[in-house]
Amino acid sequence: NAGVTQTPKFRILKIGQSMTLQCTQDMNHNYMYWYRQDPGMGLKLIYYSVGAGITDKGEVPNGYNVSRSTTEDFPLRLELAAPSQTSVYFCASLGSNQPQHFGDGTRLSIL
Amino acid sequence: AQSVAQPEDQVNVAEGNPLTVKCTYSVSGNPYLFWYVQYPNRGLQFLLKYITGDNLVKGSYGFEAEFNKSQTSFHLKKPSALVSDSALYFCAVRDSNSGYALNFGKGTSLLVTP
């Protein structure tokens, strides 16, 4: 099993550009999450999904959008990149009686 | 809101000595508590969890954690530290109001010196 796969691993964007961070899981988990990690701040929840077609905002959703058309995929969209969105982004999934599984992250710099 | 706090930014310990990484929690109801470890340029790896039952929880790589309800603490421990234990450690609590997402502490950097 690949678990949770995130692409790309690294990306540099210019201010105002847009991009999509991809996340896919092969464990048939219903619950999926996007977090961002900033130095000394821990991880903050951006968006989450409890199943295909259902998404909801987390603690820091501004500037981001998500979709969940399939159980496997949960992409995160940045529409107008801003320097404050420079961060490391983690996708995670959750199955029954299991802890959350995390991907290896996408390191995003906006210049 | 469910939250955890990690009061130490960094913990230094000599190899072979016992280690403790501290975590306190603030929750309504019964807490679901977790410890994760992060190595450089990697995602978070699950170490252990407390849901109910014994206050001493055993996890991966020889780590254990002690749940203390009266002190609202969930400290991570290991009897004998290894240099390879050097990493960033996160305490987290499950938030049932956000699809069972995790609310994380800010992390504690553990440095084990030879």
Tens of pLDDT, residues A9-49: 999 999 999 999 999 999 999 999 999 999 888 899 999 99
SS3 per-residue string spanning A13-74: ECCCCCEEEEEEECCCCCEEEEEEECCCCCEEEEEEEEECCEEEECCCCCCEEECCCCCCEC
Residues of chain B with pLDDT > 90: what percent? 84
Q: Radius of gyration of chain B from Cα atoms?
A: 13
| C-alpha distance from A98 to closest chain B C-alpha (Å) | 10
- Assign 3-state DSSP to chain B and report helix, strand, coil percentages, each to 5: 10, 55, 40
A38 in reach of chain B (CB within 8 A):
no
pLDDT at B29 over 90: no
Mean pLDDT of chain B: 94
Most B-contacting residue of A100, A106, A107 (CB-CB within 10 A), to test interface: A100
pLDDT at B52 over 90: no
Per-residue burial over A15-39, b = 16 or more CB atoms within 10 Å of its CB, e = otherwise: eeeebebbbbbeeebbbbbbbbbee
Return d(Cα B41, Cα B36) in angstroms, integer: 15
Residues of chain A with pLDDT > 70: what percent? 99
pLDDT band at A1 (very low <50, low <70, confident <90, very high): low
Q: Peptide bond before A99: cis, by omega within 30 degrees of 0?
A: no
Task: Please name the residues in contact with B100: beta carbons below 8 A apart, sequence gap of 6 or more.
Answer: A31, A94, B94
| C-alpha distance from B34 to closest chain A C-alpha (Å) | 8
Return d(Cα B5, Cα A110) in angstroms, integer: 30
Mean pLDDT of chain A: 95
Tens of pLDDT, residues A89-103: 999 999 988 889 999
What is the separation of C-alpha A39 from the centre of its chain, rounded to a whole number of angstroms?
Answer: 17
pLDDT at B62 over 70: yes
| C-alpha distance from B82 to closest chain A C-alpha (Å) | 24
pLDDT at A76 over 80: yes
Task: Please name the residues in contact with B62: beta carbons below 8 A apart, sequence gap of 6 or more.
Answer: B78, B79, B80
Cβ atoms of B90 and B107 within 8 Å: the answer is yes
pLDDT at B45 over 80: yes
Tens of pLDDT, residues B85-112: 999 999 999 998 899 999 999 999 999 9
pLDDT at B89: 98
Q: Where does residue B108 rank: exposed (0-12), middle (13-18), buried (19+ CB within 10 A)?
A: buried
Mean pLDDT across A70-80: 96
pLDDT band at B54 (very low <50, low <70, confident <90, very high): confident
Chain A's closest residue to B108, CA to CA, is A40
pLDDT at B96: 85
Using a CB-CB distance cutoff of 8 angstroms, which residues of chain B are in contact with residue A41?
106
Torsion of CA B46, B106, B43, A71, to 10 degrees: 80
